[in-house]
Structure 1
């Protein structure tokens, strides 16, 4: 076994690999950028080296040399599927803990990969053939295949650059957009086109191969629950497959691995028609460890990272296919820094950022957490939004699902928005409970899993917390001036209301009145309410019920959901609206990020729905569109500008000063619209493949 291994990654996967290195007694080295200097993976490694960029092969090799490492584990993402990095490690005398560079290169090119496995007898999705097709050739291939089709970058995965095209008239526009995103993500805009399979399931097979000719599969994972072509829930085994289909798909995966000379841990991904599981098609091979590998570990009892290390050391597999058994069931949920906002019949998942003010990760029977989080962690928009994974194991599928729902309900991350509450509700969906899944489920039903508004008790608790802040501390003698306590008491009359103006981003302002033990939220009735604070826990006693929240700064959290409740100034909002002009609408950033494209200038005439600019964060583009016909009266950013959430980007004054229709886009206050009418570049209804790590 190696003496020292460099982990060339960050976040939860770096922490995960470090755990196995500790168990094996191997010295670990981490890398970090300035943004990650205090990150959890840095604290948990035996030593750490600063790099300018995680994506720099030269920097990673330099770091390995600096700590005397014999091997490099790339995790997933970043350099894990970079053949050039694998070769750079070999040239530097380092063992790359992964497959040979030639296998990475072959399977990293989706076009060559399909041709290779087809020759080995593995069924593939019908689609275009040949590399380097022009826009016209791609369009012609799409017409020949027949609509709908899926455009896919040849060089990458993770859903980036993938476009579902149902309308032939949109082919040129979608090809251009797919090329742009593929070029930005992978430095290669080569595309292919495939037949779209309606209501498919995404099932992948874990393979393990050594350098002595032994290849086995470790069963399948169901990865059909996705948004933006990115997996969010994975499980093993799949509720769809019977033993015969599992064996056939496993053998096909083994043949695909043999066809490219594979060694180490890898995943062969298939698209499967839900109504005909036997008609499976090869999509691609991910030549690395997968995000969802823990569910396979739990049902097989194997440590895949340990086997990666053992294979890289030259060991042979000490078991055969007949020795692999799947016991029980495991389900994984990916906790991401994002907020879900429904609109125009779809569900947008917008990146979030902030400082982790409070953190509680779940424990209990069958619960495992792989996490890169710690209290105080700064979550920015430079990297992938995944923060942690919560995994639950049980003797059967219902038990695993039940344990995972409970674990998500007990997960607390305050300081930024996460998708934890959404995932908990998703697990309650009847189709999830029954196992009747497909990759379009979230696109169809996801909006119903997002609360339409903020619960009244959240505003009540936030107002009472602010009321407590108004109460002065006793002086040195222990005496408090009764006239300084905001009880609302007044001589000879009913208590006066103290008014709190509050707002949760993405929702309109709410007025909450507090007087003594009475609270009135908006136009609702006054109810008896009081607050008890126990550290980070807040207990709201309201009308005979007790609701427990976790609290940190402006944040309140409960059952996996969290809300940032801010103080709102209606006077300042009115002044901003007056300065903008009658009917004018300020378009604000829906997420923190970088402006990549500005398509208009001050004074331009625009029409409703016209694209004005593009904001990018966490590998996702969001198009900001005109809310109505009018004139761009202000444009406050340029390409390359870094923007904060809710920062004003542009102002559109309607034609003739008519008041704009606020229903679709104005989620703010006093005319401040939260821009969101555009569609994220990777968001397409009925997403087919998961292709995430």
Structure 2
């Protein structure tokens, strides 16, 4: 067994790997960029080594710097996690040359499966069914377009390298092809350094099911059952579960056998995942999509139903040990479901968000597991993927696991950074999700039903007013009763009136009088309610008319953050709000919908445009967003250039509406 292992990654997966290494008695080494100095993974590791500035290309993707950190720390092996260098064949070769064990599959297996074109050819030769399409290497734009027409619309354009939905485009007509090919190549080139594309038939009513495989260096290859990953948005998984509610034991065995054969075809060792697409209307038909030659984000659900630690097995296999289990030893116990918590705003098209974690609530309890990179004070930037944590629930059956996960997400709150937690709860409560009727288009079909947040309740506004009352009251014993801000007047106490406003909401009038321990609160057009409030650190307990509400609370920078039932509300005094929408009154101001970097500028000052004309592209956290003209008119201001960073809501362009005669 290794004495020291370096983890060449960051965030929640680095923390998760380090914890298993500690349980094994193996010394762990973390690496970090300038943006991650002091991040949680650097604090839980035994050693932390800086490897460069914030850009991933100069730190986490730098083979030279990662290997230098391994040499300086005395690491005998490197665990790559997922993303970054985890499937980089050059990195695996460099580790071998440096005499450091790469905790992953052999170079030949990575090469065979990293290229989706070669992967399909390899597994097809082994008898594994593949999706119809064209996978010739080196196809230019004309060849890709011809392949799409030949396959019949709709088709799916996929980068040959990489994964995670980056660069993938669904094309439904020939008219869409030029722009889709250009965008797919640009995103693939930026994410993977390779813009080679392949074309596949798009299976519309599809389910995404993957099988976990393990292979050792003694020729043993087994599978650990499947995971259902059909709940996706833009080809990125959102909710994953094990086992799949679609498969019965016979279908599970067939798919598991196909996955094992695919792994055997490339001499696979270590942990890997073989991904299949299944026609929801014909579940006996399944097709190979790709093989991920690394640990998957969703591996915890497999761990919870099998009782196996996949990271420990990875390390032991890399150290030359035999698999401690055979296929007959594998059994699936209960059901597990995972939800990915992202720094994004579903109500604004899932745009990435940034900020500092001011307060944090993470769930626990029976059957609950949290894999997280979060801590109070953590800075969430735009340099890396926006995933912050994973909340996983196990239960003896699917309904129990789903109910536990909804409850756990209700006790998850990241104050200071907008997350997708309310969206996840709404998705898990969807009637089709509850019934196990899943497919990759479900989230898109539901649209606003899953993303529109209900306005803050009266309890939230009341809690905000009571919190301010608590803050104003003396901390110790009352010496002078005139120091108590209870609104005392002859006759009866006076009301203190506040106008509070949540982001994106209308101002609400809140009246409060008395002391926090025995007050009256009047919210909006409601009625006066008896109320009391008590604060214990970052926890606020409020009782309204006999009903108790509990909040996580943080007050900073003029904003009060309140979190309950998985929903975080940021409230400010209305008169202190800055309305960022005022400048758009004329309809022609274009602002950055997220902090990021301008990658493409497609317009120039003086251009005549129509509403919907693309003006520029902003990229953040590996996601592109096209900004378009809001009205017909002339571009009169264009204040950014390609490569320039922009802030959230920063003005980047102005389109002046065309005037008509007489105006």
Using the size of structure 1 for normalisation, the TM-score is: 0.88
* CA 479–495 in structure 1, closer or farther in 2 if over 3 Å, else same: closer
Query: C-alpha offsets along residues 495-514 of structure 1, whole Å, 9 cap, x if unaligned?
Result: 5663425241xx14414242
- Whether the 8 Å contact between 1:267 and 1:286 is mirrored in structure 2 is yes
Moved more, 32-41 or 446-455: 446-455
Pairs within 5 Å for 1:113-192: 113-192=119-198
Comparing 152-161 with 597-606, greater Cα deviation is found at 597-606
Cα pair 1:151 1:193 within 8 Å, conserved: yes
8 Å CA contact 1:40–1:372 kept in 2: the answer is: yes
Pair 1:512-2:509 in alignment: yes
Q: Distance in 2 between matches of 1:105 and 1:565?
A: 52
Instruction: Write the mapping of 1:381-400 to structure 2, written as runs, cut at 5 A.
Output: 381-400=382-401
CA contact (8 A) 2:343 2:418 kept: yes
Decide which of 60, 64, 78 is 1:72's aligned counterpart. Answer: 78
1:583-610 Cα distance to aligned partner (Å, 9 max, x none)? 2543332222222223334443321111
Could you tell me which residue of structure 2 aligns to residue 684 of structure 1? none
Q: Any residues of structure 2 matched to 1:641-656 within 5 Å, and which?
A: 641-656=644-659
Q: Is the 8 A contact 2:498 2:573 kept in 1?
A: no
TM-superposed CA distance for 1:654, in Å, is: 2.5
Residue 247 of structure 1: aligned partner: 253
Aligned with residue 539 of structure 1, among 538, 541, 553? 541
Does 2:274 correspond to 1:268? yes
Structure 1 residues 255-404: aligned runs within 5 Å: 255-341=261-347, 348-404=349-405
In structure 2, do the counterparts of structure 1 residues 362 and 573 end up closer, same or farther at CA, with 3 Å as the change threshold?
closer
1:606 paired residue number: 609
Displacement, 1:129?
2.9
| Structure 2 counterpart of 1:548, from 524, 546, 550 | 550
- 1:30 counterpart = 2:36: no
CA deviation after TM superposition for structure 1 residue 645, in Å? 2.0
Task: Give the root-mean-square deviation of aligned CA atoms.
Answer: 2.5
Which shows bigger deviation, 620-629 or 242-251?
A: 620-629
Structure 2 distance, partners of 1:372, 1:637, is 33
Q: Is the 1:330–1:392 contact (alpha carbons within 8 Å) kept by the matching residues of 2?
A: yes
Instruction: Say if 1:206 and 1:220, in contact at 8 Å, map to a contact too.
Output: yes
Once the two structures are TM-superposed, the CA of residue 477 in structure 1 deviates from its matched residue by: 8.1
Instruction: Tell which deviates more after alignment, 215-224 or 603-612.
Output: 603-612
**CA separation in 2, counterparts of 1:363 and 1:3?**
32
In structure 1, what is the Cα distance between the partners aligned to 2:368 and 2:133? 41
Q: Distance in 1 between matches of 2:85 and 2:322?
A: 26
- Contact 1:463 1:512 survives alignment (8 Å): no
| Structure 2 CA distance for aligned equivalents of residues 518 and 186 of structure 1 | 59
**2:42 counterpart residue number:** 42
Name the SS for the 2:364 alignment partner: coil
Shifted more, 644-653 versus 206-215: the winner is 644-653
Q: Give the direction of change, closer, same or farther, for the CA distance of 1:187–1:582 in structure 2 (3 Å limit).
A: closer
Greater relative contact order structure (CA < 8 Å, 6+ sep): 1
8 Å CA contact 1:587, 1:648 repeated in 2 = yes
Q: Secondary structure at the match of 1:261?
A: coil
1:160-185 superposed Cα distances (whole Å, 9 cap, x missing partner): 11001112211111111111111111
SS in 2 for 1:278: strand
In the alignment, the residues of structure 1 paired with residue 263 and residue 112 of structure 2 have an alpha-carbon distance, to the nearest angstrom, of 11
Question: 2:585, 2:296 → 1: CA distance?
Answer: 53
8 A contact 1:456–1:521 mirrored in 2: no
Residue 429 of structure 1 corresponds to: 430
Match of 1:587 in 2: 590
1:632 maps to which residue?
635
| Residue range with higher mean Cα deviation, 416-425 or 71-80 | 416-425
The answer on whether the counterparts of 1:80 and 1:288 sit within 8 Å (CA) in structure 2 is yes
User: Residue 79 and residue 209 in structure 1: after superposition, are their counterparts in 2 closer, same or farther (change >3 A)?
Assistant: same
Query: C-alpha offsets along residues 328-365 of structure 1, whole Å, 9 cap, x if unaligned?
Result: 111111111111016xxxxx211111111112221111
Report Cα offsets for 1:37-63 as digits up to 9, x if no partner.
Answer: 111111111111110111111111000
Is 2:467–2:533's contact at 8 Å kept on the other side of the alignment?
no
Cα deviation for residue 566 of structure 1 reads 3.2
Change over 3 Å in CA distance of 1:45–1:452 after alignment to 2: closer
Deviation at 1:528, TM superposition (A): 3.0
Q: Secondary structure at the match of 1:556?
A: strand
Aligned length: 644
- Kept in 2, the 8 Å contact 1:503–1:567? The answer is no
CA deviation after TM superposition for structure 1 residue 532, in Å: 1.0
Query: Structure 1 residues 476, 395: closer, same or farther in 2, change over 3 A?
Result: closer
1:622-671 residue CA offsets vs partner (Å, 9 max, x unmatched):
1222222133343333322322222232333323399xxxxxxxxxxxxx
Match of 2:134, SS? Answer: coil
Q: Quote the offset at 1:464 in angstroms.
A: 4.3
Q: Which runs of 5+ in 1 are unaligned?
A: 343-347, 659-693
CA distance in 2, matches of 1:467, 1:642: 41
Contact kept in structure 1, 2:347 and 2:452, CA below 8 Å: no
Tell me the secondary structure at the aligned position of residue 613 of structure 1: strand
Deviation at 1:229, TM superposition (A): 0.9
CA, structure 1 residues 332+584, in 2 after alignment: closer, same or farther (shift >3 Å)? closer
Say which is worse superposed, 319-328 or 114-123, in terms of deviation: 319-328
> Cα gap change, 1:519/1:647 in structure 2, threshold over 3 Å: closer, same or farther?
farther
Q: Return the alpha-carbon distance in structure 2 between the equivalents of residues 582 and 337 of structure 1.
A: 29
Structure 1 distance, partners of 2:388, 2:380, is 9
Shift of 1:252: 0.7
Distance in 2 of aligned mates of 1:643 and 1:657: 34
- 1:568 is displaced (CA, Å) by 4.2
The reply on whether 1:461 has 2:458 as its aligned counterpart is no
Quote how far apart the aligned CAs of 1:322 are.
1.6
Report if the CA contact (8 A) 1:490-1:496 is conserved. Answer: no
Query: With structure 2 as the length reference, what TM-score do the two structures score?
Result: 0.92
